[in-house]
Structure 1
């Protein structure tokens, strides 16, 4: 009788342990599923391509570069301070597109297909200090676009097909204010042909718009832009502003140093290319360059 009682107690104990183990396993699986669902909703855009969200020096970054985006996803965290949207397929910046990102400090939109920016596209970006719009298809832009970015002190507009006419006058006036020394540097006119390659920071207002043009806008000549880029253009490379201004041309199959490198680049990575020779004074115009990486190119000395 005692033996039977002991066996029965052992069986009951084993059954209880199994239930506890099974319950613990179910709870663990449920917790993992919750965490998995939470992370996937935060880190994915509408196309299902993962974006990277990380913190660097106590500031949150959203890296959605090269994701074939055509718009800003509605589920991105609102406390993002640096938004990297370079090399996507965005064509138009609509009103209030970024208005919920109240603490945004930098916005990288370079190398998209942007041709239209609505007047309130940057509404609510009071803290924005850096805006990168280079390598797009912008022809005309007005000063009023930047009314909502009072903290802006670093703006890149180069390699756009700027049509230097009356419609660009307010922007040019803004760029040429002495205190705006880092706004619009290196941007040049593409049309009309008589103003081609003139810098927006230097062109005179009366060159953009004559008195006749002001009185009758129909006098303004409109020419179809002809996108022309040098054989080795810096738009092949990736540009970053934080933590230092960097141009990353690594593994781009380059045979020469790319043209029109922005003079304010502090770090330039040309490693793992096919550059065999450097010309005299190759980097003379890159006045702020501090770090240059030419590893794995086979340069003859």
Structure 2
């Protein structure tokens, strides 16, 4: 009986509350309403704020509508509304009293509309306002008292407008503002007092404008600023101590400006800086004293400049640096020996696309934590044997597109963690000097990612052959050290047109070491005449025959205990003439064959015609 009574009471309560719940949960057909008080409305049929919305709507988001005007009563009867957003709707007019009916609003977002002007003090009734987003409009000017009375404002976004010269006191009174975004406008000049009241500002973005200079003292009161974006302007010079008051700054971007020089001690008194960019400036030089103590910096970008070199101590105060991009400086030819002395934590170093021809031995010896090293697209002709000696943790090295002809065979000996090595687009010289590195490539094919494109560029007979395909047998001629012979004078050398005869004889008493040029003269033979075993100028060799320098080796053959060796002359022009003659001979032969075939065809046709005529005559 008691349970039945309780069930009846619950049924009466639910039925009595049903009209209220139905009224409160009403939602316009163009909107989506959820139980948390968020309402989203989309569609071109919306011309004003819908009236059929839940009473407990706290956030109203209108997007892509046909609402061009916020009139005097658009926001009426919305006592609980805290966040209002009208975006991508071609809004062009706001009534001066539009926000008087909703003084409780904390956030107003009017992004990507067609607003070109705003009524003076239009936001002033919103004393609780914390955020204003006006980005993506067509605002050219702002009334000096536009933000009067908004002491509680935290975020102001004016990005992507057409602002040129904001009034010097436009932000006065915004003492609690933490984020100010003025990026992507047409601002040419800012007064030194523009930001003087923004003592709590943490983020200031003035990027992508037309600023040509920064006034002295413009940032002096921004003691809490953590990020300052000044990139993509036209700044040509900096006041000496313009950043000195920013002791809490963590991120500074000065890239893509017109700076040709920087003052002494420009980046002093910023111990918390973690990211600095000054790339894409036509910098001609850097002062010896540029960087102050920056133990927390992890990223530094210095590329696309006109620098020829950099001071040896430029990174000395950056012990926490993890990423250093010093690339795309097409005039940077040399690096000081101690440039990377004080970067014990560096993990990635990019020196690609510079004009570096030479690297000092052990220039990277202090970078014991380095994992990625990019040296591609430079003018490096050779590398010291110990250049990578201390890089025990290195994982990737890029040496593509340099002028390397060979490398020491044990240059990567200590790089036990190396997994990604690229060596292509270098003019590798596949003579004796490349033997050791060729062997290393052969045994470490899985490390050389572009091994199929690491090709010989010289000598001619090795052209386009893969360096990794060279075997030890290809370098057998490199092993001879001394040629022992019993001949007395150089007059006993065979004539250049004779075939070289090599026999196995007993070791002579005397031994003579040959100059490579003399040896080349001896071995420059092209005749195919039969050997004369009694010729007085025959030259005996012992051990292994080696040509370190001289003409290119073509072929050798054995016949009756003799070795016949042929060489091509080193004169590339002469080789070209031979090749042209050979091709011309082939082409002539081919034409003659075609002419013979055509002649046979014509003869066959004539014979058939003659037979036909004879047959007709007989009939």
Q: Aligned in 2, Cα 1:190/1:158: closer, same or farther, shift over 3 Å?
A: same
Q: Of 48, 56, 63, which residue of structure 1 is paired with 2:325? A: 63
Q: Give aligned pairs, total.
A: 196
Give the aligned partner of residue 578 of structure 2: none
User: Counterpart in 1 of 2:454?
Assistant: 187
CA contact (8 A) 2:343 2:366 kept: no
Query: Aligned to 1:221, which of 533, 545, 549?
Result: 549
Secondary structure in 1 matching 2:393? coil
CA-CA distance at 1:159 after TM superposition? 1.0
Residues of 2 paired with 1:203 and 1:71: CA distance? 34
TM-score (norm 2): 0.28
Aligned pair in 2 of structure 1 residues 103, 91: CA closer, same or farther (>3 Å)?
same
1:99-144 CA-to-partner distances (Å, cap 9, x unmatched) read 1111110111011000021111112101111111110001121222
With the length of structure 1 as denominator, give the TM-score of the two structures: 0.55
Please report how far the alpha carbon of residue 33 of structure 1 lies from its aligned counterpart in structure 2 after TM superposition. 7.6
CA drift at 1:27:
9.6
Structure 2: distance between partners of 1:190 and 1:180 = 20
- Superposed CA offset, 1:20-52 (max 9, x none): x9xxx6894743389651479976799439951
Where structure 1 has 5 or more consecutive residues not aligned to the other structure, the ranges are: 1-20, 54-58, 227-301
Matched, 1:153 2:419: yes
1-structure distance, mates of 2:407, 2:440:
11
In the alignment, the residues of structure 1 paired with residue 460 and residue 244 of structure 2 have an alpha-carbon distance, to the nearest angstrom, of 66
Instruction: State the distance in 1 between where 2:463 and 2:403 align.
Output: 16
Between the aligned partners of 1:222 and 1:132, the Cα distance in structure 2 is 33
**Higher RCO, Cα 8 Å, sep 6+:** 1
The 1-side partners of 2:404 and 2:325 are apart by 23
Equivalent-residue separation in structure 2 for 1:168 and 1:47 (angstroms): 39
- Secondary structure at the aligned position of 2:327 is classed as coil
What is the CA distance between 1:93 and its match in structure 2? 2.2
Q: Is the 8 A contact 1:172 1:201 kept in 2?
A: yes
How well do the aligned residues superpose, as a CA RMSD in angstroms? 3.8
Unaligned runs of 5+ in 2: 1-198, 200-219, 224-242, 250-265, 291-299, 303-320, 483-515, 517-546, 552-569, 573-619
Structure 1 residues 46 and 146, CA, compared in 2 at 3 Å: closer, same or farther? farther
Query: CA separation in 2, counterparts of 1:26 and 1:86?
Result: 40
CA separation of 1:47 and 1:117: change in aligned 2, threshold 3 A: farther
Structure 1 or 2, whichever has the larger Rg, is: 2
Cα deviation, 1:199-225, whole Å, max 9, x if unaligned, reads: 012122222x233x321494223799x
For residues 1-301 of structure 1, the aligned pairs below 5 Å read 28=223, 30-32=244-246, 37-38=267-268, 47-48=285-286, 52=301, 60-67=322-329, 68-72=331-335, 74=339, 77-177=343-443, 179-183=444-448, 185=451, 186-207=453-474, 209-211=475-477, 213-216=478-481, 218=516, 219-221=547-549
